[in-house]
Structure 1
Amino acid sequence: MSLSNSASFIQPNGSSSDADEIDSLPSESTDSTTSDDEYVSDAEREWRESLQQLELLLTMILVPFAGKYFGRKCAYWGWAKFMEWKYPVEVVVSSPKMFKAAGAVEAAASL
């Protein structure tokens, strides 16, 4: 038993790249590593595209229309309250359906 216990754990000298790969991750890219985009299925890609289209529809058409409609409604309500407070007048909407339809048409006119 001429070998000591520590001599059995000595690693043989190899090239410097082999030592680097042993100490850390491999320096060369392997074929097994792929990007996340390659794993995305067609259905998930279409789902993301449809969500993007819905987001555009919401931000470009529905939100401005709703903002204009409810903004006008709020402005008419506020103006009626101001006129009733400032002057002795009573503001009455004779036809609520026509009032709502006119507000919707006015809001959609400039879109």
Structure 2
Amino acid sequence: MSLSNSASFIEPTASSSDADEIDSLPSSSTSSSGDDDQYVSDAEREWRESLRQAELMLTMVVVPYVGKYFGRKCAYWGWAKYMEWKYPVEIVITSPKTFKGAGAIEAAASL
């Protein structure tokens, strides 16, 4: 079963209605972003600036602090499980509030 060369690359002929449809598309002028800036209100600029500041606060302060806190928590849990497995000891936290507070203070110590 072979196809002839002319049959494999046949392009459909464009009808006159397709050409009319393409020609009737509205033309849009290209505008630069500088033109858009003059229409942006002061409130919009302040909103964008506050969003940028909130994003910076989140990425530079909150995420590293939370990651460090939960990383220490995971490390303490993993170390306790390892010690219980390796040696016959039982790890007991007598005051969970103090343990959590100390973890929060340690996480914030180097920030």
Equivalent AA in structure 1 for residue 54 of structure 2: L
Equivalent AA in structure 2 for residue 105 of structure 1: I
Q: Please give the residue correspondences for 1:58-97 in structure 2 after superposition, counting only pairs within 5 Å.
A: 58-97=58-97
Q: Secondary structure at the match of 2:38?
A: helix
Q: Secondary structure at the match of 2:57?
A: helix
Please report how far the alpha carbon of residue 86 of structure 1 lies from its aligned counterpart in structure 2 after TM superposition. 1.1
Equivalent AA in structure 1 for residue 67 of structure 2: G
* Greater relative contact order structure (CA < 8 Å, 6+ sep): 2
Aligned residues: CA RMSD: 1.9
Q: Which residue of 1 aligns with 2:108?
A: 108
Deviations 1:66-87, CA, capped at 9 Å, x for gaps: 0110000000000001111111
Structure with higher Rg: it is: 1
Please report how far the alpha carbon of residue 105 of structure 1 lies from its aligned counterpart in structure 2 after TM superposition. 0.3
**Structure 1 unmatched ranges of 5 or more:** 1-24, 26-33
Deviations 1:33-82, CA, capped at 9 Å, x for gaps: x7111111111100000000000100111011101100000000000011
Please report how far the alpha carbon of residue 94 of structure 1 lies from its aligned counterpart in structure 2 after TM superposition. 0.8
Q: Please give the residue correspondences for 1:1-111 in structure 2 after superposition, counting only pairs within 5 Å.
A: 35-111=35-111
Q: Secondary structure at the match of 1:55?
A: helix
Aligned length: 81
User: Equivalent pairs: percent with the same residue?
Assistant: 77
Write out the 4+ residue segments of structure 1 that deviate beyond 2 Å after TM superposition.
none
For normalisation by structure 2, the TM-score amounts to 0.69
